[in-house]
């Protein structure tokens, strides 16, 4: 009986991990304009607003693409908005970062998909990228 319970729990954990990694992502749901106009740190997200132009947008794009387990979900620097998905190393939880050029501002919005708190991971990612381009 005990081995059956362990096997069921193990299968449930594996199914959960597979779901997190393989669940479809709707780019339209995540690739949206960043409306926030001020820096903010929340439980599952972070926003940074910089003065910048297309050249800074390109530099941020290069830094984002260089991050481990990160790929472009939608958009391009030339279009003025790019959304990236970065997955956690072990479980593959997706976090989304949108970089949006609006006038002379670059707005960066990083947020989680699952859970209530990201333990500051999105804030740290934004700060690392910004430090690299400044």
What is the domain-level CATH number for residue 81?
3.30.310
Q: Which two tokens stand for residue 67?
A: 């991050």
Is residue 7 domain-resident?
no
**Longest CA pairwise span in the chain (Å):** 64
Please tell me the predicted confidence (pLDDT) of residue 22: 73
**Considering the entire predicted model, what is its pTM?**
0.90
Is residue 54 domain-resident?
yes
Cα 48 to Cα 6, 61, 88, distances in angstroms: 44, 15, 21
In DSSP terms, 50 is beta-bridged to: 106
Please tell me the predicted confidence (pLDDT) of residue 18: 74
Q: Which two tokens stand for residue 8?
A: 């069921």
The structural domain count of the chain equals 1
Burial per residue of 35-45, b for 16 or more beta-carbon CB atoms within 10 angstroms, e otherwise: eeeeeeeeebb
Continuous H helices in 40-120: 54-66
Give per-10-residue mean pLDDT for the chain (134 aa).
85 77 89 97 96 97 98 98 95 95 98 92 97 96
């Amino acid at each position: 009986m005990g081995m059956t319970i362990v096997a069921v729990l193990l299968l449930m954990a594996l199914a959960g991990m597979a779901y997190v990694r393989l669940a479809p992502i709707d780019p339209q749901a995540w690739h949206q304009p960043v409306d926030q106009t001020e820096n903010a740190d929340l439980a599952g997200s972070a926003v940074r607003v910089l003065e910048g132009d297309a050249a800074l947008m390109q530099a941020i794009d290069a830094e984002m693409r260089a991050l481990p387990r990160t790929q472009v979900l939608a958009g391009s620097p030339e279009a003025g908005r790019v959304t990236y998905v970065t997955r956690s190393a072990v479980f593959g939880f997706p976090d989304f970062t949108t970089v949006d050029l609006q006038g002379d501002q670059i707005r960066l919005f990083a947020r989680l998909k699952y859970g209530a708190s990201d333990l500051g991971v999105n804030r740290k990612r934004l700060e690392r990228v910004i430090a690299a381009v400044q």
